[in-house]
Amino acid sequence: MRTLLDKAVLFALCLILHITLTGDMRPGSVVALLAAVCCTSLCEWLPAARLRPLMPGCYAVMACLSAEFLWFLPTIAYDAMRLRPLRLVRAGASPVRGSGADELPRWMMAVSCWLWVAPLAMRLFGLGADRGQAGPDSYLIVVVVAVGALLGESARRCDALDAGRTRIEDESRDMLRRYRIRLADGSEERAAAIHTATVNERTRIARDIHDNVGHLLTRAIMQAEAGRLVAEAGGAHDAARGFAQIHDTADQAMTMIRRSVHDLEDNGTDFAAQIHAAAHAFDGAADFDVRLRNDIRTAPAPVARCLAAVIREAVSNVAHHSDAAQVSVLLHEFPAFWQLTVQDDGGRMPHAAATAPRGMGLADIEARVRALGGTALCGPFNDGWRVFASIPKTPWTAEGGRA
């Protein structure tokens, strides 16, 4: 908007000056006006940015050949100064205006940007076929051209400041975005560290209760039972009833502690970490990639241990007995059960190997899953070997957790 306003003011000033000093608009003046309008328009809308600085030079050449073009030279000087290459904002940075104008050689840029001085010098020194001695109008034209050049230089500097401000704003936004990402990453890392510390502390508390209080209560239960038997053998029935009450109380306390320990153990189980560790147990030691997809957010501790053990055993079998290149581990949670599938692409087994007696690893997988009321299927599937396990949620949802 500022550029358009500056050019409008300069054109109006040139027209007023020309009509005031010459008294009319000759055909040559009209041609010069149209040429100036075309040149200054091309400086703004020429698609090839590197050709825009050449327009003032072309008009300056025409001004050297015809004095009529001198009247509208201020607008050309404005464009020439405004389109000069901008200095670097800082060392190593790109020019503010962009790299399009820098595709021309420097000498060509310098000649094109300062060629408007040549027709002024010819006017002042009386050179050229249609020029006489320099008069007051010549000096007035020089002053107006100088004003146009100063306005162009001012516009160039304003453009540089605007471009620099835009660059600084972009860098500030980018830096702020990076800082926010770092803060988010730091928050996630802190949350993960707090979660890990909480899980470890709960596991330690559950282990201490099980190892210390549990053994003491077990000893108290056995002592109460032994005292009851001795009292009954000696005919002290009142003492036997007292020992029986102590036994029942200690047994109830043991049941409550066992439930609390299992609750702490469930809360202290990082399911995702266990599954990830089991799936990638052979990373770096085997020539296959493991693709893990876990849709289960959390599960009771026995279920988590069972699934992790099944995954570890299945991946171990792939590492020792298969030439697979990829293993997919998929865990899905359904409303009534948890499902695990471990599939490799090691090719179908020969018939003799497929019908051979099963090893201890597969039997262990089936035994672990059956212990939780689930089912397990291991065998060839598609172009590889598949381990499938399904564990129902009923025991855990009906009893609120296994004691």
Per-residue pLDDT band at 257 (split at 50, 70, 90): confident
In this model, does residue 221 exceed pLDDT 70? yes
Give residue-wise pLDDT tens across range 4-56: 888 888 888 888 887 887 777 778 888 888 888 888 888 777 755 667 777 88
Please name which of 353, 361, 234, 254 lies closest in space to residue 309, comparing C-alpha atoms.
Answer: 361
The pLDDT assigned to 104 comes to 60
- The domain spans of the chain are 2-177, 200-267, 271-399
62 and 69 in contact (C-beta within 8 Å)? yes
296 and 277 in contact (C-beta within 8 Å)? no
**Mean pLDDT of the region 176-187:** 86
**Could you tell me the pTM of the whole model?**
0.42
Per-residue pLDDT band at 370 (split at 50, 70, 90): very high
Query: Can you tell me the distance from the alpha carbon of 338 to that of 115, in angstroms, rounded to the nearest whole number?
Result: 82
315 and 279 in contact (C-beta within 8 Å)? yes
Per-residue pLDDT band at 66 (split at 50, 70, 90): confident
131 and 141 in contact (C-beta within 8 Å)? no
Please name which of 338, 314, 312 lies closest in space to residue 391, comparing C-alpha atoms.
Answer: 338
The pLDDT assigned to 30 comes to 86
375-381 sheet: strands from edge to edge? 289-294, 326-333, 337-344, 384-392, 375-381
In this model, does residue 99 exceed pLDDT 60? no
89 and 167 in contact (C-beta within 8 Å)? yes
Fold classified for 271-399: Heat Shock Protein 90 (3.30.565)
Q: At what angle do helices 237-267 and 214-233 cross, to 10 degrees?
A: 160
The pLDDT assigned to 262 comes to 67
Average pLDDT over the chain, rounded to whole? 79
